[in-house]
Each structure stands twice: as structure tokens, then as C-alpha cells.
Structure 1
Amino acid sequence: MTVLLHPVARPLAIVASVLMLGGSALAQLQLTPQATDATSRPSKSVRTKPVKPPAPPKEAATPAKPSATAEKKHEPQAPDNPNADLVYGAYQRGLYKTAFDLAMKRAQDNKDPAAMTMLGELYANSLGIKRDYGKAIEWYRRAADLGDREAMFALAMLQISGHGGAPDRAGAVKLLASSAKLGEPKAAYNLALLYMDGQTLPQDFKRAAELLRFAADAGSPEAQYALATFYKEGTGVEKNLFTSVRLLQAASLAGNVDAEVEYAIALFNGTGTEKNEAAAVSLLRKAARQNSAIAQNRLAHVLVTGMGAPMDKVEGFKWHIVAKTAGKGDLMLDEAMAQATPEERAKAEDAARKWLGVK
């Protein structure tokens, strides 16, 4: 079979990140691909980098805090439904001071672990209150002691990062294991990363795959993408391209950009799935617009060669220039652009500058 688009050779690497998950800002370890040469062969091993502490959320990135008048005007009233969660409702609406006051009352009066976890979130992320990792840890720990799996996960992430004290990976592992056992997919996912990393825990890809499968079944697109890579390379599981592609499809539908790229290439080549070039090019365009350099490179190939889509050299060269700016160079496209007309090159360069915001 002729491979029309080179698949992405990308062993898994571990980095630290801050994600918005389930309405809460939780520090989570995240898988990112290592971009390698398009012609290199996928490694059977999974390479890792040491886990770095996540940077504290920037104040500028925090949603604007409502004024005291707005807080009072929009303060939740007693609902008709006695089971309504006023604390989380206020949090979702950006009324962080209201959420803090309501959560503090519930935590003190009712010993409510969910309210304690909310207080930890607010203190950790400087929402409605000054950031205080010490108090965040205190509230997370109290909620974790009462069996709250979200608090266990959040506390583990702070312990790994060292926010609020010296890093405690051993303690974090115990918390992640307890949280995962209680059904928290984020904890299972991150515990899998530690098994892959092989620094905090003995490297065990089979155990990592089991944890990723649990998180993937729970709908985690990051876990779906990671497990897809396992099945693609035969890491910790028996190699199965069809299962890999099904997982890529699920992660792609959930908006995982790396999965969109890999799923698009599988569709384009008909690898592990029925060939569908139109759908593949559509996904590549989507990922390219989300600044995936690999997608931009593959889309450039499609447009310059006219394989899978109508030929559009100007648009193709534009994406080539943009991808090259991000470090994804391509000798074949360089040669094709060198043979283009001066007008084509000028239009492509102008379009690339506009995309990059360069005058």
C-alpha cells in the first residue's frame, strides 16, 4: 500500500500543564507528542521527560471578578430544588466571592467535603480570594480525608508540583491511587503517566495501559489519544491498528488536536479504517487552524500536490511557511516553492504573514 501522507512518529513525552477540567482549574500532567522527522519510524518504546511543576495560573488569565454590586445583584437565591448546588452554580457564573462564602458556610456547618474541595480550588487559583497554597492544601486534605476523590487528585497535583511545600511524589502516588480507585479518571490518567515516566514509579507500560483504558472509557480525550498510541506501537498492549484508530476517532471528536492530526492521516491513507480523503483534509484544516505545525505541514503537501483536494499552491505554500516558522520544515516543499512563480511565492508569503500577524 502506498502511504500518501507520512504518519506521525511521536513517542509519548510527559510535561506539566494546567487544564480546565470539569469546571475546576486543576494542575494536570498532560501528554504531548514529540514532533519528529516525517520519515522516521515510530519507536516501540515510550520516551519520557521529568515532570516539571505547573506554572501558577496567571492573574491576567483569570476571568474578571464581578463587582460587589454584581455579586449582590446576582447572589443565588434559595432554589425550588433543594438539591441544587448553589456553591457550584455561583462558581460557574464567575461569582467567586459568593461561591467562597457559601462553601465556607457549608464546610464549617455541615463538614461538606465538596465545599471543602471548592475552597481548595478557590485558594489555589486566586478566585474571589488571595492565592494561598497553604490554605488550599489544608482544605483539600480535609476533603480528601473525608473521601472526596477530586480533592485527592488536586492535592496530589500540588504535591507533585511542590506548590505549598516540598514536592512529595510518594504521597502524591498514594493519593492518585486512592482517587483512581474511587473512579476519578483524571487520577487514573496521571497515575498512568507516572508508570510511563519510570521515575516516581517503576516503569510499567502494561499497568499504564490498564489505567489509560479506564480513563479512556470514562471519556478522557487525553487518555484516548495516549492509549491509541499504545495500540499503534504495541506498547503495553498487543498492537492493533483498528483499536488505535477507534480511540483516535473518539479523542478527535472530543477536540484533541493531536488525535485530529493522527486520525486525519489514518483516514487519508486508509490505515486501520476506511479511506476517506475528504474527511481527512477537513480534519487537517481544522487542526492547522488550531496551530498544529504537523497538520499545517501535511495540509501543505495535500494542497501543493493536489492529492486528496483541489490543488492550491498559494494556500499550500502559506501553510508550509507557517509550519516552518513553528519548526516543521520540509525539503520537498522548499523545492516545490523554489519552482513556483514569483507571483505564487509573493501571495503565499503575504498570506502567511497575515496568519502569523506579521506586517
Structure 2
Amino acid sequence: MAAGRRSACWAGLLMAWPALAQAEDTATGFGALQTPAGVVAPVPDLAFGAFQRGYFATALKEAMDRIAKNPHDGAAMALVGEIYAQGMAVNKDLAEAARWNKLASLQGNREAIFAYGMALLEGKGVPKDRVAAQTYLEKAAEADHPGALYNLGIMAIQGDLKTRDFPKAAAYFQRAADAGDVDALEALSALYRQGRGVPQNLPKAIDLLKQAADGQDSGAAVQYAIILFNGEGVPKDEAAAARYFLRAAAAGNPIAENRVARLYAAGRGLAKNVVEAARWHVLARAAGIKDAWLDGILTSLTPAERTKVEDLVKRQLAF
């Protein structure tokens, strides 16, 4: 796992802001609800509301207007940073994104602190500086930012080229998992499986891996499916393994695509289906997974079956 594979958790940030008020409930015919006397109604956040709806130019304008009125508006600064980082309605500019995230971090914005820490760690828009990055990530971790906690765990495992601190990594991963980070569950599972930083505990490792798999982590789903298929520490269940492989394959995991193709070809865990086998093999092969045995399945297809496979692949790639 690479320390820099995470970006700011913007979904969580956006959910914290109220959506734009509806003028009328068209489903019931009633007008907008009135605010009780003595209660201040929340002000609709036009910048984040526009961002949520994909109106990025409007979001940028509203955020800049907010900053002009309040030069300490860290949330608006963080939004501007994200717009530049993603190239939404503007040319992608990592240096500008880093500048805005640094400004927002000075205002105490948790997401910006994390984003700027990751920019320093990866050298995106700013010179790479692992020491400074750790300082920012630790500050975000103090506010229980799951991505910061996860990456600090990775940094503890990577060490300083002299020592690796697995107990420290395990502690960070546990805190990240408690904060809802699915990747941390997978990382913690690996430590319990190997007995590094924590006592070796295979049942706990498998349970954590299942939690990660159920949390839509495709890598964890593949690992858990292999455990189920082989019956390693759990009852062997090829049908259940196939379901996890299918979930990961649908998310675009090439290894899962290859395994699903093999299961369909062999009729194990799934009803034998050469068309489905060929479909998933084509997708896996396009991602660089070679499999001579499945190549043989492709050559045995009838013209009608080949047409079905092509249609299925085209349909899937269209999404």
C-alpha cells in the first residue's frame, strides 16, 4: 500500500453542509416549512450547494465571494483548493490547490490540513517534504481525520529507513478504522495475520478483512474471497467466494475479473457460462492479466457467442 493513495474525504466535508432549501414540497403540495419563533434558520451554503450539484464555476465564484467578505473562511478556501486540485471549471493546478489548502489549514480546516499534508508527502504542487507532511497529518489526526490516521500508519510501517514501528502503525490503523476508514481495516487485518505490532490472531484478521470487504474495499473483497474459496480459517464456501469476487470485479478489480472468468469457465461457485467467462477474461486481459487457459475459452466460442461477449464488454465499459 502506498502512503499517497488517499485524497481528502470531500464526501464527508460536503455532507456536513446544509443542502439548498427547497421552496416547495412538490410531493405534498405544502409550501416550505416555517422556522419556529426564536430559532435562527440555517443560511443555505450556495458554494457547497453548487459544488454538490456539479456547478463548479458557480461554486468557485460563490467561494471567492465568501472569502472576500470573510478572509478567515477556511471552508471556502478548502473548496477552492479542491476545485483547483481536480480541475473543475478551471485548469488543474496543483500548486494553486496547495496554496489554497495551506491558507485554509491556517484557519484550522481539517480537510485542508490533511490535503496540504498529502501534497507535501507526495510533492504535488509543493516540494516533497516528509517531515513537514507528518506534522500536518498529525494535526489532522488530532481531529480524528481517518485519512490522516491511515497514512500515518503507513508512514510508521515505512519508517525512516532505519526503524519500522509496527505497534504505532497498528494504533493508527485502529483509530482510522474506528473513524470509518475501510482501508485501515484491511491494513490492520494484515498486521494481525502476520503478528506484527499486535499479537498474531488469524480469526481477528479474517473478521477485519470481512469488514473491509463488506465496506466495498475491492482489494479486501478479493482476499476474503480467496480465503472462502480455499477454506483458510473459515468453512470452505465457493458460492460465497464467487459473490465477493463478482463484487470486486464489478468495481473494476482486474484480479477479481480474472477469478470470476475462471469460476464461470469451470462452473465453480457459479453456473458454468462460457460467454460470461470470456467477458470477464477480456476485461481482465485489457488490464494486463494474462491467462493462457482462458485464452483457449475465447478461441472456442461460436460467432454468436463472440458477438454476445463483445456486446457485454462494450456495455460494461460504457459505464
Shorter-normalised TM range? 0.7 to 0.9
Aligned residues: 293
- Aligned residue for 2:193? 232
Q: For residue 107 of structure 2, what is the amino acid of its counterpart?
A: L
- Pairing 1:142–2:130 present: no
| Aligned match of 1:21 | 9
Aligned mates of 1:320, 1:164 — CA distance in 2:
39
| Paired residue secondary structure (1:203) | coil
**CA drift at 1:174:** 0.5
Quote the residue 2:210 is aligned against.
249
TM-score, normalised on structure 1? 0.67
Q: Larger deviation: 284-293 or 180-189? A: 284-293
After superposition, give the CA deviation of every residue in 1:177-222 in whole Å (9 maximum; x if it has no partner): 1111111111111122222223589422221121111111211122
* C-alpha distance 137-317 of structure 1, shift in aligned 2 (>3 A): closer
1:159 and 2:120 are equivalent in the alignment: yes
Asked if 2 retains the 8 angstrom alpha-carbon contact of 1:76 and 1:90, the reply is no
* 8 Å contact kept, 2:202–2:233: yes
**Greater relative CO (CA pairs within 8 A, separation 6+):** 1
Unaligned runs of 5+ in 2: 14-19, 24-31, 36-40
Return the structure number with greater helix share.
Answer: 2
RMSD: 3.6
**2:172 aligned residue:** 211
2:47 corresponds in structure 1 to: 87
Q: Which amino acid aligns with 2:53?
A: R
Which of these residues, 73, 96, 111, is aligned with residue 112 of structure 1? 73
Q: In 2, Cα distance between the equivalents of 1:342 and 1:147? A: 60
AA of the residue aligned to 1:23: A
1:263 aligns with 2:208: no
User: How many Å separate the matches in 2 of 1:325 and 1:341?
Assistant: 14
Which deviates more, 256-265 or 193-202? 193-202
1:167 is displaced (CA, Å) by 1.5
Other structure's SS at 1:239 match? coil
* Whole-angstrom distance in 2 between the partners of 1:134 and 1:243: 43
Which structure carries more strand by proportion?
Answer: 1
Query: Kindly tell me: are residues 158 and 342 of structure 1, through their superposed partners in 2, closer, same or farther at Cα, counting changes over 3 Å?
Result: closer
Q: Distance in 2 between matches of 1:345 and 1:244?
A: 45
CA contact (8 A) 1:221 1:256 kept: yes
Which of residues 173, 176, 181 in structure 1 aligns to 2:134?
Answer: 173
Q: Give how far 1:273 is off.
A: 3.9
Q: How does 1:324-335 map to 2 (within 5 A)?
A: 324=285, 326-329=287-290, 333=293
TM-score (norm 2): 0.75
**Which residue does the alignment assign to 2:28?**
none
Amino acid corresponding to residue 215 of structure 1 in structure 2: A
Q: Distance in 1 between matches of 2:162 and 2:88?
A: 34
1:308 alignment partner, SS class = coil
- 1:119 aligns to what SS in structure 2? helix
Who is 2:157 aligned against? Answer: 196
SS in 1 for 2:255: helix
Name the aligned partner's letter for residue 67 of structure 2: A
Residue identity opposite 1:97 in structure 2: A
Shift of 1:172: 0.8
Aligned ranges 1:292-303 → 2 under 5 Å: 292-303=253-264
1:212 alignment partner AA? F
Percent of counterpart pairs with the same letter?
34
Find the aligned partners of 1:293 and 1:126 in 2 and give their Cα distance: 28
CA distance in 2, matches of 1:329, 1:125: 33
Distance 1:236 1:345 in 2: 55
The whole-number CA distance in structure 1 between the counterparts of 2:150 and 2:176 is: 6
Matched, 1:221 2:209: no
Evaluate the alpha carbon distance shift between residue 88 and residue 159 of structure 1 in structure 2; reply closer, same or farther with a 3 A threshold: same
User: How far apart, CA to CA, are the structure 1 residues paired with 2:272 and 2:285?
Assistant: 20
Q: Distance in 2 between matches of 1:343 and 1:283?
A: 28
The structural deviation recorded for 1:119 is 2.2
Q: 1:6-85, aligned counterparts within 5 Å?
A: 13-14=1-2, 16-17=4-5, 21-23=9-11, 81-82=41-42, 84-85=44-45
Amino acid at match of 2:11: G
Task: Provide, for residues 78-135 of structure 1, a one-character-per-residue CA deviation record: whole Å limited to 9, x for no partner.
Answer: 9973254333222111222332233233334332222222222223333344544444
